[in-house]
Amino acid sequence: MQPDTPKRVLESLTSTVLTFDADLRLTSINPAGEMLFETSAKKITGYKLSELLPRSGRIAEVLQETLSSRHPFTARSIRLLLPGRRRITVDCTVTPFDENDEALLVELTQVDRLLRLTRDEDLLERQAANRIVIRGLAHEIKNPLGGLRGAAQLLERELDDPGLREYTRIIIHEADRLRTLVDRMTGPIQPLKKEVVNIHEVLEHVARLMLVEVPVGLTIERLYDPSLPEIKGDRDQLVQAVLNVVRNAVEATQGSGRVQLRTRAERNFTIRQKRHRLVLCVDIEDDGPGIPADLREHIFYPMVTGKPSGTGLGLSIAQDIITKHGGLIGCESRPKQTVFTLHLPLENNHGQA
């Protein structure tokens, strides 16, 4: 083993490793920890645990217990409030460690993200399978539809009685409606036209569209991070994806609530087993009643709707578009606070961190 191998191992770990002295002052932190705390080791070394995590009493208890018992200890599912008000759940293993000033070795593994990621992967796999069935079905419907419409048109030309022409017009109109539905079901088939896109321009465009549709009663708040770089993507398809999610938010508040659009960057985020150093996040939050419990697990499936006249395609299409951009849509919902988050990789080469 090379002399610097242990150091390199620590640097490559994806879980956070920290060491503390007997006064619970931080003596070292690995790069995964720097990413979690969104700061550098230099800035926080020497700080007390109570200063780093002021509202996380359980973790202080675990460290104190290990200091006095001198036995390793693992505590599961501890809730942490990180600087920047981010809440996460971690498993925490503390090992007594008598080396120079270092008294405790602490490993934190973020578990909520792992759970969510496996669920995301399952969801995407099932969606992909569904989409194949739907595309097949749509194809089968579309073929005879063309013939049906053409025959009705020919028939219309032969008919002198306007009363009878009314019937052929209904056939043509309904065939067109079905065709639009089938086109929506198969999703945006066009390949991505990649260009440089400013996500704030996309959001502003969608906000304007919504305010034209619902001119009274709707409040759209914006909290943008202006330092975010531009992304490579298909602007029109991104507008479509954001619009589908924002329209749901507006519909959930019945057009008279508050919808908030936020942008931010998140570090070290895994999408379909690929770890990205930096992803752009768009949060779309509304204060409506929340997603009905019986639909919660299924809303991204096509044809799943809780609305009397919904087609249940909006989210499935949005997910499809964001997936084609290498991203992911997530969702957290409770009454008065539903947040859909669009994650889009930021690095140009989509490379691994």
Residues of this chain that interact with Mg ion (CB under 5 A) are: 248, 314
- Residue numbers 320-339 binding ligand ATP by CB under 6 A: 338
Which amino acid, 130? Answer: N
| Site mask for ligand ATP (CB under 6 A), range 33-72, x = bound | ----------------------------------------
* Residue 6 contacts ligand ATP per CB under 6 A: no
| 15 versus 311: smaller Cβ distance to Mg ion | 311
185 binds ligand ATP (CB under 6 A): no
Pick one of 188, 257, 312, 330: the residue that binds ligand ATP (CB under 6 A): 312
Residue with tokens 């306007």: 162
From CA 110, how far away is CA 78, in angstroms rounded? 9
CA distances from 15 to 9, 24, 29, 245 (A): 11, 20, 11, 33
CA-CA distance, 242 to 197, in Å (whole number)?
Answer: 13
Please report which helix (H) or strand (E) contains residue 105, including its range: strand 102-110
How many other C-beta atoms lie within 10 A of the C-beta of residue 326?
18
Contacts of 198 (CB under 8 A, 6+ apart): 230
Based on the shown chain and the rule CB under 6 A, indicate whether residue 295 belongs to the binding site for ligand ATP: yes
Q: How far is the CB of 173 from Mg ion (least distance, A)?
A: 24
Q: Which stretches of 159-226 are DSSP H helices? A: 162-185, 199-213
Residue-by-residue DSSP string for 1-37: --TTHHHHHHHH-SSEEEEE-TT-BEEEE-HHHHHHH
| Closer to ligand ATP by Cβ: residue 314 or 345 | 314
Among ligand ATP, Mg ion, none, residue 311 binds (CB under 5-8 Å by kind): ligand ATP
Least Å distance between CB 315 and ligand ATP?
3
User: What's the min distance (Å) between Cβ of 180 and ligand ATP?
Assistant: 12
Among 311, 324, 330, 347, binds ligand ATP (CB under 6 A): 311
To ligand ATP, the closest distance from the beta carbon of 29 in angstroms equals 38
Pick between residue 89 and residue 305 the one whose CB is nearest to ligand ATP: 305
Query: Does residue 307 touch ligand ATP according to CB under 6 A?
Result: yes
Amino acid at 71: H
Beta strand 258-271 pairing with 219-223: parallel
**299 touches ligand ATP by CB under 6 A:** yes
* Nearest distance from C-beta of residue 251 to Mg ion, angstroms: 7
Candidates 90, 286, 321, 346: give the one binding ligand ATP (CB under 6 A): 286
Query: Per CB under 6 A, does 288 bind ligand ATP?
Result: yes
Other CB atoms within a 10 A radius of the CB of residue 316 amount to 23
DSSP β-ladder status, 219-223 and 16-20 = unpaired
Look up residue 17 and give its two tokens: 């490793």
Helices (DSSP H) in 186-293: which residue ranges?
199-213, 235-252
Binding region for ligand ATP (CB under 6 A) out of 10-18, 96-104, 220-228, 297-305: 297-305
Span of 25-33, 43-51, 140-148, 287-295 interacting with ligand ATP by CB under 6 A: 287-295
Report in angstroms how near the CB of residue 40 gets to ligand ATP at its nearest: 38
Retrieve residue 221's tokens.
Answer: 């708040």
Tokens read off for 51: 């200063």
- Exactly one of 243, 313, 321, 322 binds ligand ATP (CB under 6 A); that residue is 313
**Chain residues that interact with ligand ATP, rule: CB under 6 A:** 244, 248-249, 252, 286, 288, 290-292, 295, 299, 304-307, 310-316, 338
